[in-house]
Structure 1
């Protein structure tokens, strides 16, 4: 099995198109990590500057009672996580700024997605975009190329006739393709570690490890399925088409289908309906200003 893996990487090293694609992809991957880390640092600095400004503004207001100060309010900012340079998750959608004030529950605003054009929401260069979509496609074509070359040269049949276990061959091929993807993943996390060496703690290490394990498992499934379909199918082109179809359904259509299904099974109120309901509930509740409010007296009687 190890000899098969060794032969695979000798084949990879002699394939010029694969070397060119690998070098170009590694360069883009490193640039995406650098830009993501730079954006996180700039965002952290901007939040700190705004927080200091608001603190000075709060301390410089004229003297007032606590109730009036609560109505004056202030802003708080969601801290930027270091792992956001790898995968920002839902941070670009949920927002980062929240106004806190008395009697009012505001929503988080100024999300990055709301300030972007619809055409650019998918095209933002992020490490997560490359790791989730581009690397699996690269692994699919790499696995397909490996098996198709073995079939065309007749080497696969020769190995089986010599007594090699077909399952072991498939597993070795899968490992060779999978290790290629894991190498790109490890390089990404290593570059991230170098950029943030002074700020890494145990929590970041744990999350980065889970990040690595999740993507490694994802790549193993993609590599294994592609090698299996390419080796078991008589028509290699049909096997490649089938795997690409599975990948498209898995990564693009299935999440949208599940999201739409959940919305139908457990519908949530729209944003406007939620705000209207909250406004109505506040108007019927205790206002916090009138100590002789009948609603307050009624609540005291019940309690």
Structure 2
């Protein structure tokens, strides 16, 4: 019994020693981490500038789009500035000394977003000379930026951008030469059939402001073969409607298609022709037909392209 009690005490003592060692290791690691991150570090960073203009005025000349800032402080705080993607906001309505052409704004350390314990040691440039002009508005066209060509034996026969225009504002002298805004590149070799794709608009010049909350547009297109090499006949129409009572005299259609090289024919069962009847339609309704084709097969024409349905 005595030996058993001694054994238990010895085991408890070993467990206690192991726990103390583990706590010592954790404490040492925490101390090392604290010292590492508390070490003073001086770095130079680039911060974008966002200028808030005076009411009724627009910027005609922006000397720089970013500031080169030196900051000094604990490593962990300095690193956080990089991770947050901070920007410098300058409200011109409350800042600056008036000059003949606009304003001269001094950049202060307080303008630079930085946490407590971090010091701003240098800012370049330290002044911004900003030229202002009366702000005016204008509606410009949105143009698609088309890249490349459609695949061989196909052609882009129709396209449009929705919306097709954008209302902007900016300095009068600059807007005189600014007539359109392009979309991001649209790769033509990836288009086929009838479709629509969302595409971003290119960034506006810093002097220009969009008066509409539009950052992207839709590119609607129609790609067709230059000629067909196969005709499908008696393809059944599939009607999509919530109504159970409708009448259509036309039940089948023909399709002229371009088959890919190496394919001699396809059957009507390989193709879906769909007539989607609008919800709530009544009386005689004209419905456009759409075709779903196997991969690599291109539609030239559906005969007829639309049908009349009575509900």
TM-score bucket (shorter structure): under 0.3
- Larger Rg: 1 or 2? 2
Higher relative contact order structure (alpha carbons within 8 Å, sequence separation ≥ 6): 1
TM-score scaled by structure 2? 0.18
Structure having the higher strand fraction is 2
